[in-house]
Amino acid sequence: MSRAGGTWVGARVPRNEDARLLTGRAQFVEDVEPPGALHAAFVRSDLPAGRLRGLDVERARAHPGVHAVFTAADLGPLLRPGAVLVPPPPLEGLVFHARTALPLVRERIRHQGEALAMIVADSRYVAEDAAQLVEADIEPLDPVVDLGRALDEDAPRIHDDLPSNLAAYVRQAKGDYAAARARADLVLERRFSYDRGIGGAIENRAVVAEWDARADRLQVWDTTQAPIPVRNVVAAALGLSESQVRFIAPFVGGGFGPKIMFYAEEILVPWASIRLGRPVKWVEDRYENFFATTQERGQLHEAEISVTREGRILGVRDIFIHDSGAYDPYGLTIPINTQCTLLGPYRVPNYESEFRVAFTNKPIVTPVRGAGRQHGVFIMERLLDLAARGLGLDPVEIRRRNVIGSDEFPYNHEIMYQDFAPLRYDSGSYEESLEEAVRLVGHETFPRERERAQPDGRVVGVGVVNYVEGTGIGPYEGARITVEPGGTVRLATGVGTQGQGHFTSFAQIVADAIGVQPSDVRVVTGDTSDFHWGTGTFASRGAVVAGNAIHAAAQSVREKILRHAAKALEVDPEDLELADGAARVRGAPDLSVDLGALALSANPLRGAVEPGTEPGLEATSYFGPPYGTTANGTHAVVVAVDPETAMVEILRYIVVHDCGTVINPTIVEGQIHGGVAAGIGNAFYEELVFDEFGGTSNASFMDYLLPTSTDVPPIETAHLETPSTLNPLGTKGVGEGGAIPVAAAFAQAVEDALADIAPGLEILDIPLSPGRLFELLRGAS
């Protein structure tokens, strides 16, 4: 196992950020309140589809304490559609219609919660009072709610200038699926559905903006996963230079994808601050969050697998519809993730995949933890289970026969991934992770456990499924490391942090390179005044892309330290070691100089900095991977199902995963625990219910069920470490892997448990709520 060579990378270092968070002193955006701040609230549409015929805001404007009410008519040049954040990949035959929302509705309402007006008042309470006084005259239109009918010829059109609700079409293929099918011993075809859910960060979104007219500068605190790109968009929209605008994403209370998006409030709140000459603060409430923040997951698949009688995959064909909601600002990231991740850790010589993206009158869909990968994994793993059943094979055995071997890397799947690079796997441990999970869950002895479990009336089943996760995509991230005269080390990077432990894992990388304690490294993330190059925290890329930029910068600082110390101590740099915050001569520890003293001498007030060198002990580096690195793993779950009530209890949940070099095992396990919990929610509890008028019927935490501590079992984890070949640290991402295969594992385990009671039962739809399982059981018996 190759490691970065240090003592801190790989260690269970307790987190640097915790003390502030545990004492209530960590600053979240909601906690920012500049003196004189005004408070904003939005008037939003209750209807998902309609035409705004009139908007009477006069009573709201006249309400005491109200400073302004803005409608589309007030926005001037700001009234233009938002940015398309991710362009579609350059694929042959691609159809892509980019449609993005106006900051405030001008005429057409395309989803519930679209903002009609912005009210700015002395307090949020007053702003909401005034919101009640706004009268909107809306002509209701027939909403498009049912994804399966969104592309019908007679479906109401959501964007009048398009001939249908088709937002995009993509086809990717390799080999010759039709020929493979013709020589298959078994062909299985099924329809699958995967329903909508929310990101569910406990912190809602918030934006606080302060325009300083004297300094000619705008400062914005924002709950974003991408402070730098958002800063750039806002500066351009407001006609300011990027250097005039500082975005700060301080502590952010969970991201999970939706906070990577660009939102209208991120322009409107700063714009209002400039216009009113006062700081303006907006905090989303939970109800708004169910509409105004993006969601994920609605897809319908028709998929087919062709296998030999030995269970070898000859090919897969998958045709699906992806629900983009009312607009498609995030391009095709999600359906392409689905299309690519379906292939998983398996050899699939022939593949034919096409998808249509549909506009519907539902909130906008953009990546949420997993970002479409879970759909692909669900379909592939289900197809393998069904094929195994059809061939009389054990589900583990059919997987053994198809996983890519350790000697087959790099493995090229010959289609294009979301980063516009070919879908190639750099390294992995597919056989090992499967066998380790099988061993940990006791798969071989499981039939005996099943017998033991029967007396209490419940039936027990096991599921073992594989996944891969494309992680750590480009384009790049950067980092600047500075040794300060006090001896502390400062690290600034452009990625924001939403709980991933960056203040610790990034510090570990630095600590190894220059011989300090991780607690000596002060990490600054998500502040554009500290670092203004970068893209953001998404796609499980922080530890990979920012991590390796930090590693590179730390190595450069190390070189500088050694050069300065060699001069100060009059020795050869080769004879020096860096430890305990000092450079010292090997074998003569008394001959040493502190990093702080070196930092001071490297930035002198008199004398000269050597020509051709830079002052200080500081370095800035960037890292961009050639393409994304692929993590992998296997989940094994044991469930007990009550055949009477259809209640499912998870008895054991095991995750064997491989994210390359592990920087901090404790943090990695935390990511996995949280991912699995989110996966359990998606697979079993979380469902957005839309009524016939297209309204969400369960827009509260009372009715939309996030899993609680009594729903998530203890999770057993095992780490494999196959280093990535695409970066010096060997890291791969781990942020989403926990969430991706849960539904597939669940489905296999529940079917296994019910194998005797309902042998023909097939789980093809997610979420698998107890109600849905109950219906399935009734249908099967």
DSSP designation for 28:
B
Integer distance in angstroms from the first to the last C-alpha of the chain? Answer: 52
Q: How far is the CB of 34 from other proteins (least distance, A)?
A: 13
Interface residue with other proteins among 114, 195, 203, 765 (CB under 8 A) is 203
Least gap, CB of 261 to other proteins (angstroms): 17
**Which of 61-69, 280-288, 449-457, 539-547 is the region at the interface with other proteins (rule: CB under 8 A)?**
280-288
Q: Which stretch binds other proteins (CB under 8 A): 16-24, 76-84, 298-306, 432-440?
A: 16-24
Per DSSP, 92 falls in state T
Are residues 564 and 599 in contact, defined by beta-carbon separation less than 8 angstroms?
no
- SS3 category, 766: strand
Q: Which stretch binds other proteins (CB under 8 A): 58-66, 227-235, 250-258, 580-588?
A: 250-258
Pick the piece of the chain touching other proteins (CB under 8 A) from 439-447, 598-606, 685-693, 707-715.
Answer: 707-715
CB of 673 to other proteins, least distance (A): 3
For the chain, give the longest Cα–Cα distance: 90
- Residue listed under structure tokens 């640290």: 729
Using CB under 8 A, count the residues that bind other proteins. Answer: 59
Interacting positions 636-675 with other proteins (CB under 8 A): 666-667, 669-670, 672-675
User: Residue from 367, 395, 499, 723 that binds other proteins (CB under 8 A)?
Assistant: 499
**Residue 286 in contact with other proteins, rule: CB under 8 A:** yes
Do 447 and 603 touch, CB atoms closer than 8 A? no
What is the rounded radius of gyration, in angstroms, for the C-alpha atoms of the chain?
27
Reply yes or no: is the peptide bond before residue 140 cis, omega within 30 of 0. Answer: no
- Asked if 21 touches other proteins (CB under 8 A), the answer is yes
278-308 residues labelled b (16+ CB within 10 A) or e (exposed): bbbbbbbeeebbbbbbbbbbbbbbebbbbbb
Rounded CA gap, 579 and 586, in Å? 10
125 binds other proteins (CB under 8 A): yes
Q: What is the DSSP letter of 331?
A: T
Q: What distance in Å separates the CA atoms of residue 692 and residue 674, rounded to the nearest whole number?
A: 34
Min separation Cβ 23 and other proteins, Å:
5
18 binds other proteins (CB under 8 A): yes
Nearer to other proteins, 202 or 215 (CB): 202
- Here the tokens at position 72 are 């589309």
H/E element holding 351?
A: strand 350-359
Should residue 251 be labelled a site residue for other proteins when binding is judged by CB under 8 A?
A: yes
Residue 17 engages other proteins in binding (rule: CB under 8 A): yes
Q: 686-705 mask for other proteins (x: CB under 8 A)?
A: --------------xxx---
Q: Which of 82, 501, 581, 723 binds other proteins (CB under 8 A)?
A: 501
CA dist., res. 678 & res. 672, Å (int): 10
204 part of the interface to other proteins, by CB under 8 A? yes
Please state the separation of Cα 361 from the chain's center in Å: 24
Judged by beta carbon, residue 126 or residue 602, the one nearer other proteins is 126
Q: Give the one residue of 202, 213, 605, 608 binding other proteins; rule: CB under 8 A.
A: 202
Identified binder of other proteins from the candidate list 109, 398, 468, 676, rule CB under 8 A: 676
Neighbours of 601 (CB within 10 A): 16
Q: Does 278 bind other proteins (CB under 8 A)?
A: no
CB 506 within 8 A of CB 668: no
Question: Is 24 one of the binding residues for other proteins (CB under 8 A)?
Answer: yes
Tell me how far, at minimum, the Cβ of 16 lies from other proteins, in Å: 10
**Site for other proteins contains 710 (CB under 8 A):** yes
State in angstroms the smallest separation of the CB of 502 from other proteins.
11
The strand pairing partners of 468, in sequence order, are 632
Which member of 22, 62, 182, 579 binds other proteins (CB under 8 A)?
Answer: 22
CB closer to other proteins, 29 vs 398: 29
Q: Does 132 bind other proteins (CB under 8 A)?
A: no
Under a CB-based contact definition with an 8 Å cutoff, are residues 623 and 475 in contact? no
Report if residue 201 touches other proteins, rule: CB under 8 A: yes
Stretch that binds other proteins, among 18-26, 72-80, 183-191, 450-458 (CB under 8 A): 18-26
Query: According to CB under 8 A, which residues from 717 to 756 bind other proteins?
Result: 738
d(CA 752, CA 691): 34
Instruction: Taking each helix axis as running N to C, give the angle between helix 333-341 and helix 373-391, from 0 to 180 degrees, rounded to the nearest 10.
Output: 30
Nearest CB to other proteins, comparing residues 288 and 527? 288
Residue 523 engages other proteins in binding (rule: CB under 8 A) = no
122 sits near other proteins (criterion: CB under 8 A): no
| 254 binds other proteins, rule: CB under 8 A | yes
The stretch near other proteins (CB under 8 A) out of 26-34, 50-58, 405-413, 752-760 is 26-34
Residue 176's SS3 state is coil
Closer to other proteins at the Cβ: 16 or 324? 16
The least distance separating other proteins from the CB of residue 628, rounded to whole angstroms, comes to: 24
Question: If binding is defined by CB under 8 A, does position 471 make contact with other proteins?
Answer: no
Burial class (CB in 10 A: 0-12, 13-18, 19+), 30: middle
Residue 677 binds other proteins, judged by CB under 8 A: yes
Contacts of 525 (CB under 8 A, 6+ apart): 249, 492, 493, 494, 495, 496, 497, 502, 503, 506
Does residue number 28 form part of the binding site for other proteins (CB under 8 A)? Answer: yes
What secondary structure letter does DSSP report for 246? E
Alpha carbons 578 and 596: distance in angstroms, whole number = 13
Question: Which residues are registered as beta bridge partners of 536?
Answer: none
Determine, following the binding rule CB under 8 A, whether residue 14 of this chain makes contact with other proteins.
yes
DSSP-derived secondary structure for 453-484 = HGGGS-EEEEEEEEEEEEE---S-EEEEEEE-
476, burial (CB in 10 Å: exposed 0-12, middle 13-18, buried 19+): middle
Q: Is 35 one of the binding residues for other proteins (CB under 8 A)?
A: no
CA angle centred on 702, ends 699 and 705, rounded to 5°: 85
Supply the DSSP string of 182-218, one letter for each residue.
HT-SEEEEEEEEE--EE---SS--EEEEEEETTTTEE
The residue among 616 and 738 lying less far from other proteins, judged by its C-beta, is: 738
**Given the complex with other proteins, which of 15 and 413 has the nearer CB atom?**
15
Per DSSP, the three-state class of 767 is coil
Q: Which one among 1, 2, 7, 33 touches other proteins, defined by CB under 8 A?
A: 33
Q: Which residues contact 709 (CB under 8 A, 6 or more apart)?
A: none
Q: How far is the CB of 530 from other proteins (least distance, A)?
A: 20
Q: Is 25 in the site for other proteins (CB under 8 A)?
A: yes
| Cβ proximity of 252 and 225 under 8 Å | yes
Structure tokens at 675: 């991912």
Q: In angstroms, what is the minimal distance from the CB of 703 to other proteins?
A: 9
19 is a site residue for other proteins (CB under 8 A)? yes
Task: Indicate which single residue of 98, 155, 706, 755 sits in contact with other proteins (rule: CB under 8 A).
Answer: 706
- Judged by the rule CB under 8 A, the positions of this chain that interact with other proteins are 14-15, 17-28, 30-31, 33, 124-125, 200-204, 251-256, 283, 285-286, 498-501, 666-667, 669-670, 672-678, 700-702, 706, 708-710, 712, 714-715, 738
